[in-house]
Structure 1
Amino acid sequence: MTATRAPTQVERLPADVDVIDADDARTRGVLNISDALAEVAGLDVVRTGGFGQQSSLFAGGANSNHTLVLFDGLRLNDPSTPGSSFDAGQETLAGLSRIETVQGPMSAVYGSDAIGGVVNILPRRGGDGPLNARLDVAGGSFGTLTASAGADGSIGPFRYALTGEGYTTDGHDLVPERMATHSGDADGAESATFTGVFDLDLSSTISLDLLMRHREARADFDAFIFPPPSFNEQRADDADLEIAKNDLTVIRAGVTWRLDEALSLRTSGGGLQQDREEADGGALTARYAGDRRFADLTLEWRAGTIRALTNTQLVAGIEAQHEEVQIDQGFATVSADQRHEGAFITAQSDINGVTLTGAMRVDEFEGFGQTSTWRLGASYTLIENARLYAAYGTSFRAPTLYERFIFFGDPNLNPEQGSAWEAGADVRLSLFGQDAGAELGLVYRSQGIEDLIDFGPLFTYVNIDQAEIESAEARLALRPLSWLTARISYVHTDARDATNGDALLRRPEHAWSASLAVERGAFSAELAWRQVGERADQVYGDNGFYAGIGQTPSYDLLRGSIRWSITPNVETYVAAENMGDETYEPANGFAGAPASVLVGLRLRS
């Protein structure tokens, strides 16, 4: 539903869509959102260390603050960060049902930040029966321990899902061994998360819902850019530096009226609160607090056949929100707020084998006025199990309160503006005696972004940069046997500064992934390989000093997992990460995790 705000078959969408099943990911030993998203082709996840460290999402080759992240449609991007981006480094999976990703411009559907794509994190909801209980425990390398407990069910008209989860790890040293500032001091992290979703049918036409998620997290983050030990008796790998607080709370309450079988009206309201503190030796050094309140009204209409049109659906809505930030970096502070209103409409219908999809949106921000975006796409069923699709859309990112009101900011900044077109094809073939014995997918996207916000000549935020991004993806899945699936994908990305032709940072030109999965009865296993190519980055020398813009080497990661269902309600798994014990830096100056093993047990009622 992420691509259009209404449930739609993936095959009908003129967009590059991936769906991650949270239970399937956990069965393979993938326990956090960052690692789950790293498996999506074309979505680059750059983590500055292990669990708990900052994880940036680069969708479709665009910047990390061009990826909009939602929690069941509720905007998660942190208003208190300089770029209002989402940090996926602390989020675990136990309270989730799935994650949907859509790459390409989606501002016409969701507004600001959706230039490169959208990630929608969807929670568990009440299942059949009064009680479905679950308990997961796992432990492994680096002193990692994780556990989650949950229950969901339906009691008459009431449905509920509750999940509590915790994660702790001693971690590894974030400073690469090649650097003089490396001391071997491990950088650990911990988090605790509660998720609750409740639905109540008051009658056959009116229902209430409540969603909440609260996370508390902390992490060590030893610095490496200070003078190395030869200049200072105290190693720069400082064990006292930490993110002492990284708390997130989201809540939403809604009411839905089903006016008839085809028409429904929904209103909801809620908010997000982000609170992050950085400390050194227990002394507070920086604080970032962001608060967002929102209310919306949405109309959804589904029709059967209207002359030559079938499967017609329309979603229209209005939104209002208020953001406020309190930022204290020691050398600079920001205390500001802004209002924002938006109105949108999305539509989809089939005609003679073609699915047409369109969206339009108007947003009004306090401080810089009105911005309009639109998207139009078509998916054509060429023959059975084969389709072509194409889309064009515009997008934008509103300047953040930090960029506007920090002492080197500019209150009169304009929004960043983007436009992109894409075309793709999907084919499913009967092969090896199976209906879906082979699947092939291709997609190409070209995007331009103007008025990018960066530092100008006077060390002030200005609309100065432009970017041109081209990307192409090819993927193939083969099922030579009913219990064996092989997959391979390749993504080529050419993301450049349109002014000087320089490559944009942290976007590899080449990225490969492949996997071999076996599932026979109670046993399943997977072996997966991922290669991230060489990429431009801000680089740091072996002495720990900044060395300008350079190249970070490519790396290969191999992971494997084995699962055995002992009974229908009990299963155990073993997962191994970085099986080749590759020494690599996902971001230059930050060490990737060495080889590790995780052993887990899952119980279901």
Structure 2
Amino acid sequence: MSKLRGSCPMFRPLIVSSLFLSTSAFAAQVAPVPDAATPESTAAGTILVTATRAPTEIDRLASSVTVLDKAAIDRAQDIGVTELLIRTPGLSMSRNGGYGTTTSLRIRGAETDQTVVVIDGVKLNDPSSTGGGFNFANLLVSDASRIEVLRGPQSILWGSQAIGGVVNVVTAAPQKDLEASFDIEAGSRETVNARAGLGGKTGPLAWRIGGNIFTTEGISAIAALPGQTAERDGYTNRNLAGRAELEIAEGVSLDARGYYSRGRVEIDGFSGDTPEYSLNREFVGYAGLNVDLFDGRLRNRFAYGYTDTDRDSFNPTRARPQTFDAAGKNKRLEYQGSFAITDKWNALFGVENERSNFRSVSPAGSLSVPVPDPIRGKAEITGVYGQLSGELLTGLTVSGGIRHDDHKTYGGKTLFAGGAAWALPTGTVLRASYSEGFKAPSLYQLYSEYGNTGLAPERAHGWEAGVEQRLFDDALTLAATWFERKTKDQIDFNSCDFPVSTDPLCVTPGGDPRFGYYINVARTDAKGLEATASLKLGEGLLVDGNYSWIKAENSDTGQWLPRRPRHTANASISYDWAFGLTTGAAIRWAGKSYDNVSNSIRLDDYTLVDLRAELPIEGGTRLFARVENLFDEDYRTVNRYGTLGRSFYLGLRGRF
């Protein structure tokens, strides 16, 4: 294990701190690339946030948000969206091996399935997954032009599941009559990542299509013990995204978007190295009609969204290779309206109906044992919401919202939220908000072989208060936010003492013993502090950093929630040299955490250092290179599972 030594682990990497590369904190200080999701033109330096379902200036938001624009995404050079997000405050990640393996992202200590992921306005989740959430393993940067993280319960606008927050990914929309882009890079472990996009505007039609191919030999999913040599588990991913908007009349347009991803990842069994592998296919489709009335004061959107996720696992050593087959589908109808009551007050309202279903089966390895009928389940939820926001005093924006969800199984649930943001002439922004969350049990938790139809929904409420101060003509920005969240009836997996347990739920309805089942066992508390700072000196030097202290625990037992470090910190610096070269580096430090509910397995703290450089060549092309995990830190985010060591990459980027 290679580690930097020092009196405090947070400051071990100071020997390279003069080279950091700016990514997340400073990204919220520059104007985003316009796209179809943010149609309004804004003054230079104004940031619009679209994860709020309607473009909203960031200084008018009561909740904490991080915005990564295309410049920040390019500057970071990261392959996956997860790698970008963990540089931002309040987020932590765990992964069962290298790229493509199961990846969990937690916002402010919430469960990964308590985060809503949105791509181009379509809410993603897999009804066949354990918690009904989204697996970040296959979400590559691809043709993303903008990524937003909205923290805290957001169920008013996004419904069931948005207890931790929202991650909003917006793909690129054309800005010219004809435009193109490409990125290609290669590096350690025979890794190759190539993506390209093409788009344009022709009369009333605006369109763009982008694709990404990624392949790597990877690392062993199960970490090798000292003295052992483990085989590499490779990963490939191919995805395609497209969008088109057609203006058919003044104030009337049609909008279509699509996303498809196919991944193949080699995995290991619990006993160690195996030739097992998994396939994952995801499809996202969207079609919408946009109608503006009364000179644009009333905007209406009628839309249909569809997601289809198909997962299969195989073990070639078995007589029947397929070990798992699951599929989940979502069909979503929605109407959303916004009405400009005055030039300072706006109402947002809507209704949506979501129908989801799943099937799952685990065939036996012996050909003599028939494949059982798949387990199936379905759910339907209809939600109605409304939110009013406006400027109460100069610079003081207040908002309040209400939502009522009618779940076909669990009946009705009403949620409330409210907050205020006050932008003062001194460059100070004060924020405070209260919000509630609600998450129905997933179909897998209800109906799978480990299901429990007696589960109750998870319920949460939280509040936050923060301050942001901009100084020296916005060259220096300091911010801090305190938050608290309480969750009741959190769902967890309860293991059975197989096969001798006397617990009646440890037996299936057919009388067969099972290894465990899902149950409402926990009340959890999460609270913490997020602090950020960014500094721009002259035209070329950017410095930023953030620190998060998050105490997430089971309030019944006092134990830490698994795989959530209590302390995390990021810092970065970049410098643009006069002759065009940009150099930089970034540091991420994560404190200790625990791998299991009982806190008996500890995951040690770790420090990662990355170096990056970028050089314009000619026209719109740039050469870039980076070193990740410079000091080859050996660390774990999941017990027994490996992580990437020192890695080198070299690439070429073009924007035309």
> Structures share a fold, TM > 0.5?
yes
Change (3 A) 1:407 1:246: closer
Paired residue secondary structure (1:413): coil
Counterpart CA distance in 2 for 1:554 and 1:219 is 27
Paired residue secondary structure (2:241): strand
Quick one: which amino acid aligns to residue 351 of structure 2? I
* Percent identity for Structure 1 against Structure 2: 28
Counterpart CA distance in 2 for 1:221 and 1:502 is 30
Counterpart CA distance in 2 for 1:439 and 1:98 is 21
Q: How does 1:318-329 map onto structure 2 within 5 Å?
A: 318-329=351-362
1:551-600 CA-to-partner distances (Å, cap 9, x unmatched) read 11010000111011112311110011101111111222111101001111
Paired residue secondary structure (2:84): helix
Q: Is the 8 A contact 2:383 2:404 kept in 1?
A: yes
Corresponding residue to 1:535 among 576, 581, 593: 593
Q: How does 1:190-589 map onto structure 2 within 5 Å?
A: 190-223=236-269, 225-226=270-271, 236-238=272-274, 240-243=275-278, 245-259=279-293, 260-281=295-316, 283-305=321-343, 310=344, 312-330=345-363, 333-352=374-393, 353-430=395-472, 435-455=473-493, 458=505, 459-520=516-577, 522-538=580-596, 549-589=600-640
Paired residue secondary structure (1:145): strand
Paired residue secondary structure (1:154): strand
Q: Alignment length, in residue pairs?
A: 575
- 1:230 match: none
Counterpart CA distance in 2 for 1:26 and 1:277 is 33
TM-score of the aligned structures, taking structure 2 as reference length: 0.85
TM-score of the aligned structures, taking structure 1 as reference length: 0.92
Quick one: which amino acid aligns to residue 484 of structure 2? S
- 1:144 match: 191
Deviates more, 1:467-476 or 1:331-340: 331-340
Q: Is the 8 A contact 1:265 1:299 kept in 2?
A: yes
Quick one: which amino acid aligns to residue 260 of structure 2? H
Deviates more, 1:333-342 or 1:390-399: 333-342
State the 1:479 CA deviation: 2.5
Paired residue secondary structure (2:327): strand
Q: Is the 8 A contact 1:334 1:406 kept in 2?
A: yes
Quick one: which amino acid aligns to residue 631 of structure 2? G
- 2:513 match: none
Change (3 A) 1:216 1:460: closer
Counterpart CA distance in 2 for 1:288 and 1:22 is 35
Quick one: which amino acid aligns to residue 337 of structure 2? L
- 1:233 match: none
Q: Is the 8 A contact 2:562 2:599 kept in 1?
A: no
State the 1:23 CA deviation: 5.0
State the 1:77 CA deviation: 1.5
- 1:188 match: 234
1:117-136 CA-to-partner distances (Å, cap 9, x unmatched) read 1101111112222x102222
Quick one: which amino acid aligns to residue 494 of structure 1? K
Moved over 6 A (4+): none
Name the one with the larger strand percent: 1
Q: Is the 8 A contact 2:89 2:531 kept in 1?
A: no
- Structure 1 residue 120 corresponds to structure 2 residue 168: yes
Q: Which has the higher relative contact order, 1 or 2, with Cα contacts under 8 A spaced 6 or more apart?
A: 2
Change (3 A) 1:586 1:204: same
State the 1:3 CA deviation: 4.7
Counterpart CA distance in 2 for 1:496 and 1:112 is 22
Q: How does 1:53-202 map onto structure 2 within 5 Å?
A: 53-129=101-177, 131-178=178-225, 183-202=229-248
Change (3 A) 1:34 1:203: same
1:424-464 CA-to-partner distances (Å, cap 9, x unmatched) read 0000001xxxx122110000001100011124564432222
1:221-244 CA-to-partner distances (Å, cap 9, x unmatched) read 122x32xxxxxxxxx311x1111x
Corresponding residue to 2:100 among 33, 52, 68: 52
Deviates more, 1:458-467 or 1:93-102: 458-467
Q: Is the 8 A contact 2:353 2:381 kept in 1?
A: yes
Change (3 A) 1:376 1:591: same
Counterpart CA distance in 2 for 1:91 and 1:460 is 29
State the 1:602 CA deviation: 1.4
Q: Is the 8 A contact 1:367 1:411 kept in 2?
A: no
Counterpart CA distance in 1 for 2:51 and 2:256 is 23
State the 1:26 CA deviation: 3.3
Q: Is the 8 A contact 1:470 1:493 kept in 2?
A: yes
1:38-83 CA-to-partner distances (Å, cap 9, x unmatched) read 2111111222222111111100111111111111221112111010
Counterpart CA distance in 2 for 1:277 and 1:417 is 32
Q: Is the 8 A contact 1:336 1:401 kept in 2?
A: yes
Quick one: which amino acid aligns to residue 402 of structure 1? Y
Structure 1 gap segments, 5+ residues each: 227-235, 540-546
Q: Is the 8 A contact 2:98 2:220 kept in 1?
A: no
Change (3 A) 1:24 1:475: closer
State the 1:518 CA deviation: 1.2
Counterpart CA distance in 1 for 2:435 and 2:51 is 12
Q: Is the 8 A contact 2:587 2:607 kept in 1?
A: yes
Q: Is the 8 A contact 2:489 2:523 kept in 1?
A: yes
Counterpart CA distance in 1 for 2:523 and 2:118 is 26
- 1:229 match: none
1:236-273 CA-to-partner distances (Å, cap 9, x unmatched) read 311x1111x10000001010111122111110113000
Q: Is the 8 A contact 2:50 2:56 kept in 1?
A: no
Structure 2 gap segments, 5+ residues each: 1-48, 365-371, 495-502, 506-515
